[in-house]
Amino acid sequence: MPSSDPVQRFTDIIENIDRIEQFTKGLDAAAFAANDQVTFAVKYALMVISEATTKLGDTAADLRPGIPWREIRGLGNRLRHDYDTVDLARIWLLIERDLPPLKAACQAALQTLSQGRGAG
């Protein structure tokens, strides 16, 4: 599928949130911060989420307003360019607070898109 396919991009976001959930299962903030493999994997998954959001462009906000899409796109830049100053406590907060509503929004967007495709 082309990179502009919104179904694929929303799926990419959901799959990477699922990965983050698997990577962090059973961890608390301290255990997360102490595990280099997990923090590295989570940061990579967040970069993929950010890139998928960038590829979605305005489609994301059109389908699911209320999600901070601009900030999600910006997260990738921070992880790539300011990797040496990433605050793991903020990443943990993002995992706990921000990923569940993002996942739900992406699942709803996929449902909206599938209904639109079925009608056409």
Express each pLDDT in 97-119 by its tens digit: 999 999 999 999 999 999 976 54
Can you state the angle between helices 6-24 and 99-119, rounded to 10 degrees?
A: 150
The answer to whether residue 17 scores a pLDDT higher than 80 is yes
Does residue 78 fall inside a structural domain? yes
Domains held by the chain: number: 1
Residue 86's pLDDT is 92
Q: What is the dihedral of CA 16, 51, 73, 67, to 10 degrees?
A: -50
Does residue 97 fall inside a structural domain? yes
The answer to whether residue 32 scores a pLDDT higher than 90 is yes
The answer to whether residue 6 scores a pLDDT higher than 80 is yes
Can you state the angle between helices 36-56 and 6-24, rounded to 10 degrees?
A: 160
Does residue 28 fall inside a structural domain? yes
Does residue 71 fall inside a structural domain? yes
Does residue 58 fall inside a structural domain? yes
Cα–Cα distance measured from residue 61 to residue 67, given in angstroms and rounded to the nearest whole number: 7
Residue 116's pLDDT is 78
Does residue 1 fall inside a structural domain? no
Does residue 111 fall inside a structural domain? yes
Residue 23: which domain range?
Answer: 6-119
* 41-100 pLDDT per residue, tens: 999 999 999 999 999 999 999 999 999 999 999 999 999 999 889 999 999 999 999 999
Residue 83's pLDDT is 87
What pTM value is reported for the model?
Answer: 0.92
